[in-house]
Chain A
């Protein structure tokens, strides 16, 4: 039971990160119906940005206040990654609207390959470790040999995720941008006729997705303390799995899917085999796509003849 509780906490932490990335997939899919294959690499890039900003703050400027460092790193990573998200959309996706149906996906694969190798070229191929920011843990429960802990790190990840999701939810539900975005999702041409700047709305969607990926990237770095140029691929696919599982196009679905994938992965590693944990995620992806492509909260697609 204690083991289970501990794994549950670990799973939720991991799931928060997946959920944040999954939102980027689901929003972009919702608005332009494309799988942004490069999103995982944007996430990886953001972790690198966070890493560099963190090191610059601690070694050059000598900041020691943990909350201050964390907030600055987070904000910088979000801002700079957003710029990347914007640039990628402008350069690689926007010119393809109206092209043949596989063009955006192929372009996205190109961006994905470019980004991971770009980071490899400019930052080197080796793993980049960072000293842990916080080490303390809350002991939630202790009985004889069993201890269930919640580390500060994990608490920070969950709280950050929850706060940002709430803010994001507000943005999408209550602001003019959110309305424009939902309108574009339903009928892009009609939205344009009603005076919504569709291009800008799509750009903003990518920017938001990238910003959330940056949050995930920062938290990932905080949690694992190491990042490498190839770290975008597997978390990217898992987050996409989360988005599909939750019902692609649905924002709450992405978060729920992320949590489920995080939990499944953690429990799978804990109870079955750690070697096959990625296989489990990939299998879930295949099974969901075959048997329930609309996911948990998604709407089924009606084929137009």
Chain B
């Protein structure tokens, strides 16, 4: 109750970003602090993710990005602060209060992991079927109807397979549907993990370094996939990424973290020219700044 009261206050107190925060946010992170013993991994962080946007969370190594993700997706309980998810029809879920699995099951926040976490011995198709656990569980009458082989469940299963098939076509893995997921090449595993997350019909999709370890072609494919997700599904995207070419090309907004603190929040153009970002993100060495400014400028020209 106390926390709910604070929410009303903090809304007004939220520091305005350069061009004002997104008007219709799907996720509001509010004064989030996460301490591990003496270490403050995230310090009083507030930002919003706009509905239908791709928002990037960037920052140097150890800035606390993955910790923020783990707080949003229920793996850590934040020391302080609130994380509010606003579905389309109104209402809100306070993510920090939900048990881990309910963050996906009720609030419909899905995520991928920095070090891919597929079910390696299960097939590609099975991975996508597990992701549709909730509707299938209901259709199978919590296994009772399923074990008797009632038609209702068989219909639901066929639908689930169709959905999986559609995603497999989209990520170009239809030919490998019956192979163990662990046998796929790295880039395919990354795409499969995103498809698996999407099979849970998320409102918000959190991607932890989706482009890490991808070659330039795979990276370009990823950009297409993420744009498609944003444009064709009612899913907003929040991603952590180091690859600036990905971040600058596809992000609608960028939030920059350093040492657990937010140092900037805005459109890619604003971030590109923000001196604080350049100083913090790239170090204060002038030559380095120039070099990376050039790179960022180049990326901007491409976009």
A/B: CB atoms within 8 Å of each other: yes
Residues of A within 8 A of B (CB): 302-303, 305
Q: Is there contact, CB below 8 Å, between A305 and B36?
A: no
Tell me if B113 is interfacial: C-beta within 8 Å of chain A.
yes
Q: Is there contact, CB below 8 Å, between B113 and A302?
A: no
Min CB distance A76 to B, Å, is 47
* Cα of A303 to Cα of B66 in the assembled complex, Å: 13
**Nearest residue, chain B, Cβ from A305:** B75
6 contacts between A and B (CB under 8 A): A302-B36, A303-B75, A305-B66, A305-B70, A305-B75, A305-B113
Closest 6 CB pairs of A and B: A305-B75, A305-B70, A305-B113, A302-B36, A303-B75, A305-B66
User: CB-CB contacts of B60-89 with A at 8 A, as 1s and 0s?
Assistant: 000000100010000100000000000000
How many chain B residues have a CB neighbour from A under 8 Å?
5
Chain A residues within 8 Å of B36, by CB:
302
* Cα of A303 to Cα of B70 in the assembled complex, Å: 11
Chain B residues within 8 Å of A303, by CB:
75
Min CB distance B39 to A, Å, is 11
Min CB distance A279 to B, Å, is 33
Min CB distance B56 to A, Å, is 20
Min CB distance A196 to B, Å, is 26
Chain B residues within 8 Å of A302, by CB:
36
Chain A residues within 8 Å of B66, by CB:
305
**Nearest residue, chain A, Cβ from B66:** A305
* Cα of A302 to Cα of B113 in the assembled complex, Å: 17
Min CB distance B272 to A, Å, is 31
**Nearest residue, chain A, Cβ from B36:** A302
**Nearest residue, chain A, Cβ from B75:** A305
* Cα of A156 to Cα of B287 in the assembled complex, Å: 73
Chain A residues within 8 Å of B113, by CB:
305
Chain B residues within 8 Å of A305, by CB:
66, 70, 75, 113
**Nearest residue, chain A, Cβ from B70:** A305
Chain A residues within 8 Å of B70, by CB:
305
Min CB distance A129 to B, Å, is 52
* Cα of A305 to Cα of B72 in the assembled complex, Å: 13
Min CB distance B202 to A, Å, is 18
Min CB distance A262 to B, Å, is 33
CB-CB contacts below 8 Å: B29-43 with A: 36
* Cα of A151 to Cα of B47 in the assembled complex, Å: 71
* Cα of A305 to Cα of B70 in the assembled complex, Å: 8
* Cα of A305 to Cα of B115 in the assembled complex, Å: 9
